Amino acid sequence: MKPHHSLYFALLLTCVASTGPTMAQVSLQGAHDQGMSFGKEQKNSVGTSRISEQTASQIPLYKQNAKQSDGYEGGFGDMVNIGVGRITESRAYSPGSCDKEGFDPEQAAKSVMGPQKWAALSAAQRQRAIEDQIAYFDQECEGINFLAGEYKMRNRAEIPPGDDLANWTPPAGTPDENGNCTIKEVTIPPEFVSELCYESRTIEKRECFETANVNVYMEPGLPDKDVYIVLNAKTPTWRLTFHPSKLTVSIIADGLCPLISNTPECPFGSAFEKPTINLGTMSMNGGRSGLIPYGDEYHRIESDPTGDGCTFRLNSRHVSGGAGPGDVHAYWTLNLCEPIPHVNVTWQDNCAILEAATDLPN
């Protein structure tokens, strides 16, 4: 910033005491005139005539064309709005950002100290000098903030229109018990005024819709319910209860005793009787049941899955005794699947644009 130089003139009032009949006392007006005359004589010799761009440039932080001088406009600039703007900027400034002239803190520190002194500083001392220079630039905002808020702390005194200010004297304080006056500091809290404003806007009402596309189709699958089947072919009667959800089958056999038999299940004389045997549960994926007697023979049920998840083969196998132990007397191929409904739901909507419009920042 350009420095502003002011001349201060001291008015020297010289009173000469009368020491003889030839010495006359200088009047007050005469002393004033002498002081004005002396000031005019010295103005050109020691005043602004010695200040030039060359001499001013030797002053630290001197700028020939200061940015903030643009608003001055020869004394006709809008200083009120400029001042209000600086108050607003200073209120929100952060340390190190107050300088509007674009000074380099390091170069400014070098300029203030001079080359020789700067060269003698350590790295830590130079950093401290730079930080001090930044704090120096921040004084502008700090000063504006102080002056802009200082008026709130002033005591307000209302003077009646008829008060005689020329003869006013401050009221006398109350002395203490020793006759001395005391100073009492009274802090008046700042006053705050809260103001609220509301702004309402008419917003267009928009809606979005979600449409469900439902596709129902049938596919074969194992049911949850049990399936009961009775099988009989050249062997004992097999009563099968399939549990498709568990992939198991419960087996009960009614064995027909032949005419000639002598076993605990078919003793002599039990021809054509049908003892019932519960063989428990086996797996439908390659399982086998327990043995049941058929006269002097033994039989079992074996499962054989085909691999499609629906079809299973059951073999009634002759295990021992009789003419051909180990052969398959009979087999049955069963498809336990049935059409099961499946539901596929997909959604379609036009809400993406509306969501993007309402996704406002906090």
Q: Confidence class of residue 324 from pLDDT cuts 50, 70 and 90?
A: low
- One-letter identity of residue 295: G
The mean pLDDT of 131-151, rounded to a whole number, is: 86
pLDDT at 270: 53
Burial of residue 239, with CB atoms counted within 10 A of its CB: 0-12 exposed, 13-18 middle, 19 or more buried: middle
Say how far residue 65 (Cα) sits from the centre of its chain: 45
| Per-residue pLDDT at 127 exceeds 90 | yes
pLDDT at 7: 33
| b/e burial code for range 27-48 (CB count within 10 A of at least 16 → b) | eeeebeeebeeeeeeeeeeeee
Q: Is 357 helix (H, G, I), strand (E, B) or coil?
A: helix
pLDDT at 289: 86
| Per-residue pLDDT at 327 exceeds 90 | no
- pLDDT digits 0-9 by tens, 142-192: 888 888 876 666 566 667 677 676 676 666 666 677 777 777 777 777 777
The residue ranges of every structural domain in the chain are: 60-152, 221-342
Residue 283, phi then psi, degrees to nearest 5: -80, 145
pLDDT at 124: 92
More confident residue, 16 or 265: 265
Token pair 């008060």 in the structure block, residue? 163
The mean pLDDT of 102-110, rounded to a whole number, is: 89
The mean pLDDT of 72-83, rounded to a whole number, is: 83
The mean pLDDT of 102-117, rounded to a whole number, is: 88
More confident residue, 298 or 32: 32
| Per-residue pLDDT at 4 exceeds 60 | no
Contact 282, 248 (CB under 8 A): yes
Contact 103, 112 (CB under 8 A): no
- With a CB cutoff of 8 Å and minimum separation 6, the contacts of 298 are 291, 292, 319, 320, 321
- pLDDT digits 0-9 by tens, 232-261: 755 678 888 999 888 899 998 876 665 555
pLDDT at 263: 63
